[in-house]
A and B are shown apart, each in its own frame.
Chain A
Amino acid sequence: QQQVKQSPQSLIVQKGGIPIINCAYENTAFDYFPWYQQFPGKGPALLIAIRPDVSEKKEGRFTISFNKSAKQFSLHIMDSQPGDSATYFCAASTGNQFYFGTGTSLTVIP
């Protein structure tokens, strides 16, 4: 059973566009929602994270929107660049156990 559902599976945008990646969860005990970026052959790197007591968090060009009632959260990448081309994973945790989405492969075309 997939604890965190992520969509879309892949995404192609033009440079400067705003890709949006969505995740949904069921377990209301989750209290920490990070996003990770992974390049081929590398481990996931933390991008940004949010707790359910806030509805939005911005760090640089990355924004998380969080809808607690809908049990959904999303990642927005402003002014996307070719260097942002990577796989993005959402995750949710309760305590120290993390559950990951299936990933979104993002391609930013120059």
Chain B
Amino acid sequence: DAGVTQSPTHLIKTRGQQVTLRCSPKSGHDTVSWYQQALGQGPQFIFQYYEEEERQRGNFPDRFSGHQFPNYSSELNVNALLLGDSALYLCASSITWGVTDTQYFGPGTRLTVL
């Protein structure tokens, strides 16, 4: 049983560019959450997708957008990249209405903005 997978592993972009990160949830999971983790900090919630809709959103600007596909996989898009967007982007999957609230994290995508 594959866990949460993310691609790519690393990415280097320049300011002003746009980036798309991808996530495949753990088998049987229907909910995907995205987090930004700056160096030396805890993960910060960006948003969560369930049933192909954005269900909850953290304190992030509209430059951050996402999508969930019918197979529950998800994409995170960031437009007009800033230097401060450099971080590890984590995807976590879970089951809405499941027995547990546990979120399982992928290995992350390291984004560097130059």
Q: Which residues of B contact A (CB under 8 A)?
A: 4, 31, 33, 35, 40-45, 48, 50, 55-56, 58, 90, 92, 94, 96, 100-108, 110
How many chain A residues sit at the interface, stated as a range, is: 20 to 34
Contact A45 B105 (CB under 8 A): yes
Residues of chain B lying within 8 A (CB to CB) of residue A98: 33, 43, 45, 92, 103
Distance A98 CA – B106 CA, assembled complex (angstroms): 15
Residues of chain B lying within 8 A (CB to CB) of residue A31: 101
Contact B40 A103 (CB under 8 A): yes
Contact A44 B43 (CB under 8 A): yes
Provide the A32-56 mask, 1 if CB < 8 A to any CB of B, else 0: 1010100001111110010000000
Q: Say whether A69 faces chain B, with CB atoms less than 8 Å apart.
A: no
5 contacts between A and B (CB under 8 A): A42-B107, A43-B108, A96-B55, A98-B45, A103-B41
Those 7 A-B pairs whose CB atoms lie nearest each other, nearest first? A100-B42, A43-B105, A32-B101, A43-B107, A44-B105, A43-B108, A100-B43
Contact B31 A36 (CB under 8 A): no
Residues of chain A lying within 8 A (CB to CB) of residue B94: 96
Distance A36 CA – B43 CA, assembled complex (angstroms): 11
Q: Which residues of A contact B (CB under 8 A)?
A: 6, 31-32, 34, 36, 41-46, 49, 89, 91, 93, 95-103
Partner of A44 from the list B40, B55, B58, B90 (CB cut-off 8 Å) is B90
Distance A34 CA – B92 CA, assembled complex (angstroms): 14
Residues of chain B lying within 8 A (CB to CB) of residue A6: 42
Measured CB to CB, the closest approach of chain A to B99, in angstroms, equals: 12
- From known contacts A44-B90, A102-B42, infer whether A96 and B48 are also in contact, taking CB-CB under 8 Å: yes
CB-nearest residue of chain B to A33: B101
